[in-house]
Amino acid sequence: MRLVFAGTPEVAVPALDALLASDKHEVVAVVTRPDGTAGRGRKLVASPVARRAEEAGIEVLKPAKPSDPEFLARLTELAPDCCPVVAYGALLRPGALEIPEHGWVNLHFSLLPAWRGAAPVQHAVLAGDEVTGASTFLIEQGLDSGPVFGVVTEEIRPTDTSGDLLTRLSHSGARLLAATMDGIADGSLHAVPQPLDGVTLAPKINPEDARIEWTHPALRVDRLVRGCAPAPGAWTVFRGERLKVSGPVTLHPGAAELAPGELAVGKNSVRVGTGSHEIELGEVQPQGKKPMRAADWARGVRIESGERLGE
């Protein structure tokens, strides 16, 4: 098939690579978000997908909105049979959805209908799910509600951050998307409507959602730290300033000598009380500084007996 690929961040690049490597399809163009500012100089930078497409010599389209008449006219000229999508980041309207014969097929990083929305991997980790996966589905006007072509599953490991899990899913999902294109092309694959039961939503995680409440159980704190890594990053407050808890924490079942948020500093460890048992901090990032080992941070600030996080 003739394909126009839509995607923006680094997580979409493995899927683009898988389609470029296929001898069954031709990627004739890529659609991505407009260049954004990055770095201290706030210079305009092309998206990872745009950069990869340019390396491959493929036309790159960067409409401000996918409903722009100029973009729709160019998409019509390209005459794609199908438009595979991975984390494109813009809402597709009927004018665009109707152009390819086989529609727009999205790779979504959950086992639909679970975790529809912008942050499925983060919510799966936050909820303590043991298994997640990726789904390919036909985009329609509803939020991730279209019929599903195929799925792949992935175990969530006890130490997984959202970043770890998303990296694995980006590669297994890439293979799934390529296989979905093959099945659509030869007529062997047909989308199946999602079940009505089991729908859960995964809205974007905002920085305020990532604030650690030390009165919560240790397991919930652990999931928040892992689920918000690398972004937006779990955080707390120490001496009136924000402190990001950017590394893994270690649970210490049975130990409950510290009050919620109370700190205890050892020679090479920093423990914190929670609503259940204590945890040990791995890496922290003080405001305006680089990440560092929690023990190094504690030596630098000279924590006093009884001091707490979160106050």
Interval 32-72: pLDDT, tens: 999 998 777 778 999 999 999 999 999 999 999 999 999 99
Beta-carbon contacts of residue 261 (< 8 Å; ≥ 6 apart): 214, 215, 236, 272, 273, 308, 309, 310, 311
CB atoms within 10 A of CB 63: 19
Report pLDDT for 5: 98
Residue 281, pLDDT above cutoff 90 = yes
In the annotated binding site, the residues are: 110-113
pLDDT given for residue 25 in this prediction = 98
Binding residues for (6S)-5,6,7,8-tetrahydrofolate: 110-113
Per-residue confidence (pLDDT) for residue 37, from 0 to 100? 83
What is the pLDDT at residue 102? 98
Alpha-carbon radius of gyration of the chain: 22
Residues in contact with 303: Cβ distance below 8 Å, sequence separation at least 6, in sequence order? 263, 265, 270
In the predicted structure, residue 263 carries a pLDDT above the cut 90: yes
Enter the tokens of residue 74.
Answer: 């160019």
Check pLDDT > 90 for residue 119: yes
pLDDT in tens, 228-262: 999 999 999 999 999 999 878 999 888 678 999 99
Of the two residues 267 and 125, the one the predictor is more confident about is: 125
pLDDT tens digits, one per residue of 194-226: 999 999 999 999 999 999 999 999 999 999 999
Q: What is the pTM of this model?
A: 0.94
Mean pLDDT of the 100-128 span: 98
